[in-house]
């Protein structure tokens, strides 16, 4: 039969050594006429068509292919994509062709899932939903804080007020969303405020979030050489720097020393006092308190 010839070709393609090749060819010569019986060597080993099949953790006997699939292909040809061979009596040791049937993978999974559910019934308990307050029954699987996916989604939302129109909207906790709609967002982007250039005195418009000081590159360039005196933020000594620069310390040594200055702060979440480097601006004593503050926003 054609399907039997294809099965033999499959076996020939799985051999790796000369001994395996010899065994496969000998098996093909023996079974070209009739199908030999399944020989049980031990509880974990069976021989069929000269091939040894060993029992795996899945309880199936396997070689290059599972024993029950091999037997099905021997009688019926190749197994179509999306199909599995099912043991009718759920006994993986009974690989007789009469005990095998071809089913879709989806149906195969449902059959075994139904058997598992009857073998190990799940214990259910009563829980109260943290969002809507409704009582519900569920299996003891760890996180049972919400009665539905909708309530779980609501728990991650917080009501905020749009900075443009003042309408309230829901946003995910921890997100930076400030506007209720695309329209309000574009209105915010189009906002402009008037500033006065400190060099030429000309007024110009700019978005409030931008830190531009000068009306043009020309005015900015004219201030590069201008200098002013400032007081060092660490030692108090006066030093000269560019008028449009952001230098705060008179030397690199003062800058390094300022970064080492520590201060005592109180955590706003747990109330614990902790020591931190002043320049870091830490508000919380630990990552745990930081994440708790993000959830409350």
DSSP string, 164-220: TT--EEEEETT-----SSHHHHHHHHT--EEEE-TTT--EEEE-TT----SSSHHHH
Task: Note down the domain range covering 63.
Answer: 2-119
Encode pLDDT of 208-248 as tens digits: 888 888 888 888 888 777 788 899 988 999 998 887 778 88
Q: What integer pLDDT is reported at residue 25 of this predicted model?
A: 61
Q: What integer pLDDT is reported at residue 120 of this predicted model?
A: 59
Encode pLDDT of 23-38 as tens digits: 666 566 555 545 567 8
* 106 and 30 housed in the same domain: yes
Of residues 45, 136, 148, 131, the one with CA closest to residue 93: 45
Last residue of a domain, one of 74, 96, 119: 119
Question: Is the CB of residue 127 less than 8 Å from the CB of residue 120?
Answer: no
Q: With bands split at pLDDT 50, 70 and 90, how would you rate the model's confidence at 162? A: very high
Lowest-pLDDT choice from 11-15, 80-84, 199-203, 267-271: 11-15
Does pLDDT of 128 surpass 80? Answer: yes
* 71 and 6 housed in the same domain: yes
Does pLDDT of 21 surpass 70? Answer: no
Q: With bands split at pLDDT 50, 70 and 90, how would you rate the model's confidence at 16? A: low
Q: What integer pLDDT is reported at residue 104 of this predicted model?
A: 92
In the numeric block, which tokens belong to residue 273? 């006092």
CA 166, chain centre distance (Å) = 35
Q: Does residue 293 belong to any structural domain of this protein? A: yes
* 44 and 139 housed in the same domain: no
The residue with greater pLDDT, 297 or 244, is: 244
What is the average per-residue pLDDT within 117-130? Answer: 73
Does pLDDT of 8 surpass 70? Answer: no
* 78 and 8 housed in the same domain: yes
252 phi/psi in degrees, rounded to 5: -65, -35
Encode pLDDT of 66-123 as tens digits: 888 888 887 778 888 889 999 888 888 888 877 888 999 898 888 888 876 665 566 7
**Structural domains in the chain (count):** 3
* 35 and 114 housed in the same domain: yes
What is the average per-residue pLDDT within 145-156? Answer: 85
Does pLDDT of 176 surpass 70? Answer: yes
Q: What integer pLDDT is reported at residue 270 of this predicted model?
A: 92
Q: Does residue 28 belong to any structural domain of this protein? A: yes
Lowest-pLDDT choice from 42-51, 111-120, 152-161: 111-120
Question: Is the CB of residue 180 less than 8 Å from the CB of residue 167?
Answer: yes
Q: Does residue 187 belong to any structural domain of this protein? A: no
* 60 and 92 housed in the same domain: yes
Q: Does residue 201 belong to any structural domain of this protein? A: no
* 115 and 131 housed in the same domain: no
Q: Does residue 10 belong to any structural domain of this protein? A: yes
**Coil, strand, or helix at residue 89?**
coil
């Amino acid at each position: 039969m054609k399907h039997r010839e294809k099965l033999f070709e499959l076996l020939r393609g799985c051999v790796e050594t000369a001994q395996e090749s010899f065994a496969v060819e000998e098996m093909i010569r023996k079974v070209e006429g009739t199908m030999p019986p399944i020989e049980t060597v031990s509880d974990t080993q069976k021989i069929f068509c000269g091939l040894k099949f060993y029992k795996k953790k899945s309880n199936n006997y396997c070689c290059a292919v599972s024993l029950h699939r091999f037997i099905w292909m021997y009688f019926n040809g190749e197994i179509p994509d999306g199909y599995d061979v099912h043991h009718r009596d759920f006994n993986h040791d009974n690989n007789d062709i009469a005990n095998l049937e071809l089913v879709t993978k989806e149906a195969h999974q449902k059959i075994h899932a139904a058997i598992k559910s009857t073998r190990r019934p799940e214990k259910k308990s009563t829980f109260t939903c943290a969002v809507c307050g409704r009582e519900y029954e569920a299996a003891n699987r760890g996180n049972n804080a919400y009665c539905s996916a909708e309530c779980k989604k609501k728990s991650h939302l917080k009501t905020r007020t749009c900075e443009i129109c003042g309408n309230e909207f829901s946003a995910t906790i921890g997100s930076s969303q400030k506007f209720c709609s695309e329209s309000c967002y574009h209105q915010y982007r189009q906002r402009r405020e008037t500033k006065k250039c400190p060099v030429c005195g000309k007024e110009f418009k700019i978005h409030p979030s931008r830190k531009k000081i000068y009306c043009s590159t020309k005015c900015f360039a004219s201030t590069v050489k201008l200098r002013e005196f400032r007081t060092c933020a660490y030692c108090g000594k006066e030093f000269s720097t560019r008028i449009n620069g952001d230098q705060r310390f008179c030397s690199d040594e003062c800058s390094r020393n300022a970064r080492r200055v520590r201060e005592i702060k109180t955590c706003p979440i747990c109330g614990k006092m902790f020591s931190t480097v002043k320049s870091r601006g830490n508000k919380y004593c630990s990552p745990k308190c930081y994440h708790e503050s993000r959830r409350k926003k």
